[in-house]
């Protein structure tokens, strides 16, 4: 009986911790997704940083926390598409609202759950800092993979994407993906790895999660 009694408060504390940490990261994701704070703008290109709180959720909370934050990220992207704040997805929303829904939300959900599973798997092997940096890298890479895959599946043959392909000199879906991602994708991956990995590691140490 004593064991059962002791276990109940532990489960309650775990649920409270899960809800608190998830809520904080959801708020950060919302702010970054709906304001310029989630975008690093340079004279040449714009780099999205919204995958970083998703990666941190994977490190601190686990796959479910990463999934929830990624879903929120996707919702902000979908809202931006509807309101016209997202140039690409806003244009494609006129072609297929369902395709934009899958590209903006479902692709991000997949990114979140797989990022969480990657950290969980790596952490079972070793708790060295490299697991945090690999997870920080995985989030933007998976985001690009799922987002661009969905984009090509739903919209490659649309007039909008064909016009873009012609402009960029791409002759097939893979060529268009490479042309669209390019330097921006590399910078997002580097930022996710360095910033996400460092912040996640420092917070994990502060919370004695390692």
Q: Which domains does the chain have, with CATH numbers?
A: 50-206 (1.10.1760.20)
Instruction: List, for residues 59-70, the tens digit of each pLDDT value.
Output: 999 999 999 999
As given in the structure block, the two tokens for residue 202 are 């420092």
Q: What is the pLDDT of residue 101?
A: 97
User: Rounded distance, CA 168 to CA 189, Å?
Assistant: 22
User: Rounded distance, CA 137 to CA 134, Å?
Assistant: 5
Instruction: List, for residues 76-130, the tens digit of each pLDDT value.
Output: 999 999 998 888 899 999 999 999 999 999 999 999 999 999 999 998 998 889 9
Secondary structure element (H or E) that encloses residue 47, with its range = strand 46-48
Q: Are strands 39-41 and 46-48 parallel, antiparallel or unpaired?
A: antiparallel
pLDDT band at 9 (very low <50, low <70, confident <90, very high): low
3-class DSSP state for residue 127? coil
């Amino acid at each position: 009986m004593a064991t059962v009694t002791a276990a109940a408060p532990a489960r309650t504390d775990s649920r409270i911790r899960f809800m608190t940490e998830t809520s904080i990261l959801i708020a950060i994701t919302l702010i970054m997704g709906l304001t310029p704070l989630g975008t690093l703008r340079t004279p040449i290109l714009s780099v999205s940083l919204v995958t970083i709180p998703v990666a941190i959720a994977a490190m601190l909370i686990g796959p479910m926390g990463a999934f929830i934050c990624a879903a929120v990220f996707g919702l902000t992207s979908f809202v931006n598409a509807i309101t016209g704040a997202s140039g690409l997805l806003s244009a494609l929303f006129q072609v297929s609202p369902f395709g934009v829904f899958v590209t903006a939300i479902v692709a991000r959900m997949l990114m979140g759950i797989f990022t969480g599973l990657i950290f969980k798997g790596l952490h079972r092997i070793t708790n060295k800092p490299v697991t945090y940096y690999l997870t920080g890298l995985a989030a933007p890479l998976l985001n690009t993979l799922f987002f661009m895959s969905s984009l090509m599946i739903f919209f490659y043959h649309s007039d909008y994407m064909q016009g873009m392909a012609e402009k960029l000199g791409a002759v097939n879906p893979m060529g268009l993906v490479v042309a669209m991602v390019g330097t921006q994708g590399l910078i997002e991956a580097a930022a996710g790895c360095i910033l996400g990995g460092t912040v996640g590691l420092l917070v994990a140490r502060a919370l004695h999660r390692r």
